[in-house]
Structure 1
């Protein structure tokens, strides 16, 4: 009888927003078409941290092959893997020296082929990380280009002749000295948006563009199903190199990203690669306005297929955390903007951010499980393609790195040098870095409670999180209440219910300080999602309704009702089918 009352009161919440939802427009055809990259769940693998099979301390393709059945057990249908190309590894592979070769630490081309064939046999598609805003300075193109202005590859990069004087200042995200570096052999400066070892490629050169398309075709011929375009919003440059105003680097995307020529290049890429190979592409970043994002991904543009923006991941970069009201507002605003055209990636973490549960949940032993379950419920019940990062299906957490000597990441080291040069409060800087560093999200996968969490028999490239004895796959696999099995259940629910893919989203009681509540509606299917983002019980007041409801997901054993109040426990997550 109590469960019946719960369901009656749950529908009442749905009825309370009936006037808001009944008048919502029907989902347009573009967003309602059956498309594999919309309906799938993507799982991101940072390969050097996933599974090591040869004892060198770095993950490899054979390690992924060993865990293919695990990937299938998650229910995911796509894998995006960070770069594994030949590279001097200045930026962990985001500095490519040969786009058609594999770094030996990961294995061979035969290993790669076995890996993706194994994925396809299990219904999993493969998304390749393509790094073509820049190359490594060890790439044969750049080694030739820097030797002479007469090199056929000189114009594959951006140069400023020294006889014109000092080049106008350009900010570098990894180099406190700026974005130009002098090359004596050519008496000219080359441009690098990131590290000096990552010279920017000149997309204005049609020969360079054709080289990139040929590289993409090479991998598509090997069975790659999609491409993630790293830092691609910066690929087009204003080659007049005007003087930018002082302080412009604080609005980096506005000044360095989304130059008009970018769309010409993407349309060309679509015609050359995306359409004929029936693959999809997502670029890192979506510009600085909604119009930028739509211009990238609306179907009639024939450019990219999915917008991957950073507004909500950028709101939790310091230990001060974020406000739920802002979190709701950002997700609701972006969903509304893309309700009729275009498509979004939905994510809370990746290789460039700290762990999801530290930033948006509660990593304490008391609440780590339920708060991670709550966050995964959110990701898998929103409109858009969910991107989940390896280890988040377990609730992996940040590690503690209070001193700069523990960091190997070029981004962390560059920021530290910049802070020193600016006479910043270094204690405060290290507190923020310890909380937000992307190295937190790159620690080895925690497979079991054996030495090094079962990741390697050698010395891991990065130390394993101390909590691996309790937070690991083996411990969670057979526990029906674990983060892992909750994740599997949510993926299954999404895979079996198109309403969670294409359904209209409507927020409920947006002003509620603790609870994020919304409905998903598609044709005659309705689902209600209730998420308590707080570490205490929180109530939503309900009115009368009927009992034709079914509770599909609940990360607690029960729901609490007291007269007309629906009480959610700390970080409780509930999904209800409204019939």
Structure 2
């Protein structure tokens, strides 16, 4: 099945989809929003496709693959930062918020890329990094050299004459969150790396600078914003001390301070409402109330809660229990059943590959287990976020020694673990399993050299399994992970029951099967997922009176008797119910 054929099919069913959706909502009151009904596809730009041979992905590479993106059935692209940056943290250290890093192309390339997406019905979501800037930003360069700088209050400072500032945890720096600059005999605050000084949101002038930056990009066609590390934006630098070991509860002490809600309401009025864009913040606090206070519509702050309890379940090779998996997803769904909206995801640029952490990446089961995970993500209530390469089942890259790592997060954690006297063999085993570098390997387009990603030397080693896992090979295989993903986005786009329908967990105590219904008015679907490498069976009254199987990653039917289901290893099925 080639790309041209796939794309031609889109026009055939779009009209039918629209008519079906209108019928579904005729008698049901739903607060319909594109960002609820969409499927967001995350692109890590330096790893997607390179066209100039420098080994880094670029805008022209994305432009070349716009038809591929359209063929996936996704409705929005979220792209990691591409601003000017010294690249200490791969672009999350911004030195100019209105300029493009030359490695990605030009502003004209960006505008052509966004225009091409819009022509294909794909919206664009920008990653905005405004908890901190780069230490190379002109604001910080001026501020660190003079206490009288007009940008001095754009950052948080502690004058040395007050003595050393109280200890403050830093996510990337084992020595803590304050660093000294001799030019002004003072310390500046950084929640992440020392090259990422925190911006002072308590300063109204700084906030206006940020809103103007967001307006700049909204006027260039950006439809939404992902606010990086934003739950930490409001600070209290006078906090005298923290309890011993507070690092494990870092968010509790540094996240979602009360003033942050005032800033978000201000941002909503300045940017979100007049430009009709949406925003999702990285992180959702420590409680459901925290999350609701961010995204409930009447709050007029953000629109989507993006929390981490999902991915926190599988941080080590020990894996996770299906019972915990069910409980976490069901609990979050219940908490947002009536108000607010959440993101549903299992992977992103800060986490290892989906199939390795939540599935089975062995050659025997890689295809079906990835299909199962994508079926799950695209059949849950909430906005699904999928990460580039997960539509293929891309896997982790084996990196057993620290010399192979370039990520500042990995290197910082290694340094801290060694200083603390940890078992470094065990540390490296966990790092190899969970490092976010696993998620940043080049996209696997075909079986040519470097997987078709670049004609040069790739910035990150290509996974050796690219000859078995790539777009070209999977395009022509109707049973591939890629074509299964396309079936799932088509089903979701055509059936609002998978977006807005009520969710009910079935078989809560079954050790292998995750089963649930999605119901919206008269539309009813049953989702059956075997999360194990062994056959599974159960008696399920809801399996009676099934009308049609929409999704099945095996040839065999799961329904063996009137109410008995039998699922093959990692079998994923969606069935229409009476």
* Residues 30/302 of structure 1: CA separation in 2 closer, same or farther (3 Å cut): farther
Match of 2:121 in 1: 123
- Partner SS, residue 105 of structure 1: helix
d(CA) in 2 for partners of 1:445 and 1:257? Answer: 34
Candidates 495, 503, 513, aligned match of 1:505: 503
- 1:276-323, CA deviations, whole angstroms, 9 ceiling, x for partnerless residues? 000000000000011100000000000000000000101100000011
- Partner SS, residue 531 of structure 1: strand
2:474–2:483 Cα contact (<8 Å) kept: yes
* Residues 539/213 of structure 1: CA separation in 2 closer, same or farther (3 Å cut): same
Structure 1 residue 545, shift from structure 2 partner = 7.1
1:31–1:340 Cα contact (<8 Å) kept: no
Which consecutive unaligned segments of at least 5 residues does structure 2 have?
1-24
Name the structure, 1 or 2, with higher relative contact order (CA <8 Å, separation 6+).
1
Match of 2:85 in 1: 87
* Residues 544/75 of structure 1: CA separation in 2 closer, same or farther (3 Å cut): closer
Match of 1:42 in 2: 40
Match of 2:18 in 1: none
- Partner SS, residue 521 of structure 1: strand
* Residues 467/435 of structure 1: CA separation in 2 closer, same or farther (3 Å cut): same
Match of 1:343 in 2: 341
- Partner SS, residue 146 of structure 1: helix
d(CA) in 2 for partners of 1:239 and 1:396? Answer: 42
TM normalised by structure 2 equals: 0.94
d(CA) in 1 for partners of 2:71 and 2:42? Answer: 15
Aligned pairs for 1:282-321 (under 5 A) are 282-321=280-319
- Partner SS, residue 125 of structure 2: strand
Aligned pairs for 1:355-366 (under 5 A) are 355-366=353-364
- Partner SS, residue 474 of structure 1: helix
* Residues 545/322 of structure 1: CA separation in 2 closer, same or farther (3 Å cut): closer
Aligned pairs for 1:55-70 (under 5 A) are 55-70=53-68
Aligned pairs for 1:533-548 (under 5 A) are 533-543=531-541, 547=545
Match of 1:379 in 2: 377
Candidates 271, 274, 277, aligned match of 1:276: 274
Aligned pairs for 1:170-209 (under 5 A) are 170-209=168-207
Structure 1 residue 559, shift from structure 2 partner = 1.8
Aligned pairs for 1:406-555 (under 5 A) are 406-543=404-541, 547=545, 549-555=547-553
Match of 1:24 in 2: none
Match of 2:388 in 1: 390
TM normalised by structure 1 equals: 0.94
d(CA) in 1 for partners of 2:272 and 2:66? Answer: 27
- Partner SS, residue 185 of structure 1: coil
Structure 1 residue 483, shift from structure 2 partner = 0.1
Aligned pairs for 1:213-232 (under 5 A) are 213-232=211-230
* Residues 481/545 of structure 1: CA separation in 2 closer, same or farther (3 Å cut): closer
Match of 1:572 in 2: 571
d(CA) in 2 for partners of 1:309 and 1:125? Answer: 22
* Residues 543/98 of structure 1: CA separation in 2 closer, same or farther (3 Å cut): closer
d(CA) in 2 for partners of 1:46 and 1:544? Answer: 41
1:449–1:469 Cα contact (<8 Å) kept: yes
Q: CA RMSD in A?
A: 1.4
Which consecutive unaligned segments of at least 5 residues does structure 1 have?
1-26
- 1:109-144, CA deviations, whole angstroms, 9 ceiling, x for partnerless residues? 000000000000000000000000000000000000
* Residues 96/545 of structure 1: CA separation in 2 closer, same or farther (3 Å cut): closer
d(CA) in 2 for partners of 1:74 and 1:40? Answer: 12
- Partner SS, residue 574 of structure 1: strand
- Partner SS, residue 358 of structure 1: helix
Match of 1:17 in 2: none
d(CA) in 1 for partners of 2:541 and 2:270? Answer: 57
- Partner SS, residue 350 of structure 2: coil
Match of 1:102 in 2: 100
2:342–2:382 Cα contact (<8 Å) kept: yes
Match of 1:22 in 2: none
d(CA) in 2 for partners of 1:302 and 1:239? Answer: 27
- Partner SS, residue 514 of structure 2: strand
- 1:470-517, CA deviations, whole angstroms, 9 ceiling, x for partnerless residues? 100000001110000000000000000000000000000111000000
- Partner SS, residue 126 of structure 2: strand
Match of 1:21 in 2: none
Candidates 75, 78, 86, aligned match of 1:77: 75
Match of 1:168 in 2: 166
d(CA) in 2 for partners of 1:247 and 1:346? Answer: 31
Match of 2:9 in 1: none
* Residues 148/525 of structure 1: CA separation in 2 closer, same or farther (3 Å cut): same
1:30–1:299 Cα contact (<8 Å) kept: no
* Residues 154/499 of structure 1: CA separation in 2 closer, same or farther (3 Å cut): same
- Partner SS, residue 116 of structure 1: helix
* Residues 560/524 of structure 1: CA separation in 2 closer, same or farther (3 Å cut): closer
Structure 1 residue 561, shift from structure 2 partner = 5.1
- Partner SS, residue 331 of structure 1: helix
* Residues 254/575 of structure 1: CA separation in 2 closer, same or farther (3 Å cut): same
d(CA) in 1 for partners of 2:35 and 2:248? Answer: 34
When structure 1 is superposed on structure 2, of 283-292 and 238-247 the one drifting more is 238-247
When structure 1 is superposed on structure 2, of 538-547 and 388-397 the one drifting more is 538-547
- 1:318-373, CA deviations, whole angstroms, 9 ceiling, x for partnerless residues? 00001110000000000000000000000000000000000000000000000000
